[in-house]
Chains A and B, each alone.
Chain A
Amino acid sequence: MPRTDPRNRRPLALAAAAGSVVLLASGCGYLSGEGGGGGGGDASDVDCAPFEAWAEVEGTVSIYSSIRDEEAERMDRSWADFEACTGIDIQHEGSGEFEAQLPIRLEGGNAPDLALIPQPGLLQRVVDDGYAVPVADGVAANAEEGWGEDWLGYATFDGELYGTPYGANMKSMVWYSPAYFSENGYEVPQSWDEMTELSDTIAEDGTKPWCVGFESGDGTGWPGTDWIENALLRTAGTDVYNQWVSHEIPFDDPQVAEAFELAGGIVRNPDYVNGTFGDVESIAVTSFQEAGLPLLDGGCAMYLMGSFYSAQFEEGVTVAEDGDVYGFVLPPLEAGAEVPVMGGGEFAVPFADRPEVAAVHEYLSTPEYANSRASQGAWVSANQNMDPAVIEDPASQFAAEVLLSPDTVFHFDGSDAMPSSVGTNVFWNGMIDWVTGTSTEDVLETIESAWP
């Protein structure tokens, strides 16, 4: 091309420029992905009655989250009817770098309309920095009906509600294989001591009783915080737990050290871990997604992980009380004592107050949406008006039962609620140090010294 005579090239260049302008004008809609697709789609075979209230609203709403792959596709299906019956097109984007990317986008002025934020610490940050907007009135009304103070408290700042709970999960869940248990005559333990005895028995039978994996890319270490939080709720109780999360007692309080020792009795016990993955140190590099899979072939017997772990099992694995895998609630210290439950969830937080955003948010906060999403599988909401009957997979049913039971005192995941420089950094790193040989005292001291 450089050899072309410029006298020929000049008109060529002009033509190219002119041509592209014409194309730009006519093809904009096609290229920008507007028109067609979700919004205003085919509503003929959908019952639109439930969406009456939003039928006239139009526009595009972007949702940003850390939810990807199959989970994201289930999510897309869960609001397909809503899109078909309204003029709203929901564009969801999931990213594995959500926690780092959301602040970049907010700072860069590129905010999504709604974000599903899993950490109250991050939620507080986006509210403090003035990016989030309070929820619309209709959303607030739905929230009042759906969730108790234990949930909404995390999204309320200065009396204003900035988000509504979306999905919920239960992180006091121990995965095990009912088939393997019954084959070997093991029984689900009712107290921490029984659990230790069971672990000893399994270890004597020649299997490492526990699988543990802390690796999670950018978030490596977080599964460890679940162990500590569950232990602390059992040794010290709700009040101390809350004081610890809000730093009314120091991070290295002796009561916290006690909880570390309790958890360490399992996690750092070379006789108990780490089924098929190696010794205690291997916990640091075993990904949490992989860590529970040895349950299926007897590589280990128990795995502490949130209820969302059911999504990791491939098709053909029966998740049921009498199937290949299932869960039990991590037992209290004494049999029969109150069982503290710990868990987490995302909050749907709006960054724009356009009517279509409010409409989508309103829909997401209804029990109808919770039912729609739950019926797609592997998902639970803490919405009190959700119909547990729509849940098909037994693990989610189990989690829903525990979460929605009036006896349950729900505790939000403490590390997620701490300031992010601790909760998503030093605490996580500390857990890695802790399983690779650093003493409990040193770990606690390091974390305490980093509290802002």
Chain B
Amino acid sequence: MEFSFLDELPKIVWMLIGIAAFLGVIGLLLVVIDMPRTRRDRWQAFLFLAPALLLLVGGLIYPVLRTTYLSFHDRSGDAFVGLANYLWMFQRPEILLVLRNTLLWVLFAPVLSTAIGLVYAVLVDRSRFESVAKSLVFMPMAISFVGASIIWRFVFAYRPADQEQYGLFNQIVVWFGGEPRLWLLEQPLNTFLLIMVLIWVQAGFAMVVLSAAIKAIPAEIVEAARIDGAGAFQLFRSITLPSVWPTVLVVLITITVQTLKVFDIVRTMTGGNYGTSVIANEMYSQAFSQGQTGQGSALAVFLFVLVIPLVVLQIRRTRKARELS
């Protein structure tokens, strides 16, 4: 089984066919939309929306309803068990640990990513190396969580004290005269190390968005404050922060939603072992590896419920913005 490009060709052909067929269908749809008979706004709107809505109803809305239904049933999905799966969640110590970990993630990852992103954006703003400096911090956004996990596992790698370290973390510890440690094993430190990986990825996102917001602050305001003799820190506190605050909130909410759904990092860094599992990982392993469909579904619904307030918040903000515009 040598690698041969000929074996790969059908895939590429099929990809081209797929794209062509899609464009063809869209073209046809537009033709139909403009036919005289369909020229009523409601019909046209429906046709525009139909493909997307069809996919969303089948692919997302139906699954949410189904999962909710399953969360009140036993593992086979036949017998109604009331709230048993939810009670189970709050009774098992290992699941409580999972809930605690998720809480830690939500408490730390969004705030720290946003804070670091904001500080960095302010620091490099208008400096000579701004674009390079921003690229460096933004780069992790382009790396998959799997790639990021490999990068960081390499940083945390451990060798016993009598051997040379190749993990950066332990080497630094050794340089300062300490003993190398198994970082990914130490609870609850390991959860924070995983959180650090997410911060590493998300800070770039926060930085870019906030940087744009900072640039949108009218120059006159900054100028006026400066003439009044405001120092750098004062400037940040009384002008920059209030001006970008709405954006900070948006960034916080966006990263929080990402954080609640974090799966890949935990899966590839520790596999959810050593007390590092989070809800998104636990529901996968409960529902599939262990066949506890009801319990896995309950976890999923719980996660869903956790995110709802964030979305309501976001929606209200969007609505306000719409009314203003």
Contacts and interface: CB of A to CB of B under 8 A. Distances in A.
Real binding pair: yes
Interface of A: 6, 9-10, 12-14, 16-20, 23-24, 27, 30-31, 33, 73, 99-101, 103-104, 107, 125, 129, 215, 217-218, 220-221, 276-279, 281-282, 284-285, 420-421, 424-426, 429, 432, 436, 446, 450
Contacts, number: 110
B24 A16 contact: yes
Interface in B6-22: 10, 13-14, 17, 20-21
A167 B70 CA distance: 37
B289 A73 contact: no
A10 B289 contact: no
B245 to A, nearest CB: 37
Given A20-B20, A285-B185, A446-B93, A420 B271 contact: no
Contact of B273 (A17, A104, A278, A432): A432
A125 B159 CA distance: 41
B31 interface: yes
Interface string B82-94: 0000000000111
B274 A276 contact: no
Contacts of A19: 20
Contact of B28 (A13, A23, A218, A425): A13
B274 A27 contact: no
Nearest to B272: A218
Contacts of A215: 273
12 contacts: A16-B20, A16-B27, A17-B28, A20-B17, A27-B13, A99-B289, A100-B288, A285-B274, A420-B289, A424-B290, A425-B289, A450-B94
B163 interface: yes
B284 interface: yes
B105 interface: no
A284 to B, nearest CB: 6
Contacts of A9: 27
Contacts of B274: 284-285, 432, 436
B325 interface: no
A278 B182 contact: yes
Contacts of B13: 27, 30-31
A19 B182 CA distance: 59
B291 A420 contact: yes
A285 B184 contact: yes
Nearest to A12: B27
Interface residues of B, number: 37
B273 A220 contact: yes
B284 to A, nearest CB: 7
B181 to A, nearest CB: 9
B188 interface: no
Contacts of A12: 27
Nearest to A20: B21
Contacts of B23: 13, 16
B76 A129 contact: yes
A13 B31 contact: yes
B158 interface: yes
Interface in B276-325: 284-285, 288-293
Given A16-B24, A16-B27, A281-B185, A24 B17 contact: yes
B1 interface: yes
A118 B136 CA distance: 46
Contact of B285 (A13, A100, A279, A450): A100
B27 A17 contact: yes
Which 4 pairs show the lowest CB-CB distances between chains A and B?
A13-B27, A17-B24, A16-B24, A100-B288
Contacts of A436: 185, 274
Given A13-B28, A31-B10, A277-B160, A217 B271 contact: yes
Nearest to A73: B1
A429 B273 contact: yes
B10 A421 contact: no
Nearest to A435: B185
Given A13-B26, A420-B289, 6 more contacts: A13-B24, A20-B21, A30-B13, A73-B1, A276-B160, A278-B158
B169 to A, nearest CB: 14
A17 B289 contact: no
Nearest to A218: B271
**Taking chain A's interface residues, is the majority helix, strand, or loop, or is none over half, making it mixed?**
helix
Given A73-B1, A432-B274, A276 B27 contact: no
Nearest to A107: B293
Contacts of A425: 285, 289-290
B25 interface: yes
B182 to A, nearest CB: 6
Contacts of A104: 288
B252 to A, nearest CB: 32
A282 B17 contact: no
Contacts of A10: 27, 31
A40 to B, nearest CB: 19
A285 B31 contact: no
Interface string B146-190: 000000000000111001000000000000000000101100000
Contacts of B28: 13-14, 17
Interface string B80-119: 0000000000001110000000000000000000000000
A250 to B, nearest CB: 18
A149 B289 CA distance: 28
B289 A424 contact: yes
Q: Which of B13, B163, B273, B284 has the most CB of A within 10 A?
A: B273
Contacts of B271: 217-218, 220
B273 A16 contact: no
A309 B290 CA distance: 26
A107 B274 CA distance: 30
A17 B17 CA distance: 9
A406 to B, nearest CB: 37
Contact of A103 (B25, B30, B185, B288): B288
A362 B160 CA distance: 51
A100 B289 contact: yes
A429 B160 contact: no
A222 B35 CA distance: 65
Q: Which of B27, B160, B184, B290 has the most CB of A within 10 A?
A: B290
A129 B76 CA distance: 7
A36 to B, nearest CB: 11
Nearest to A432: B273
Given A217-B271, A420-B291, A285 B158 contact: yes
Contacts of B14: 31
Contacts of A33: 10
Contacts of A220: 271, 273
A301 to B, nearest CB: 17
Q: Which of A73, A276, A277, A278 has the most CB of B within 10 A?
A: A278
B72 to A, nearest CB: 18
Contacts of B158: 278, 282, 285
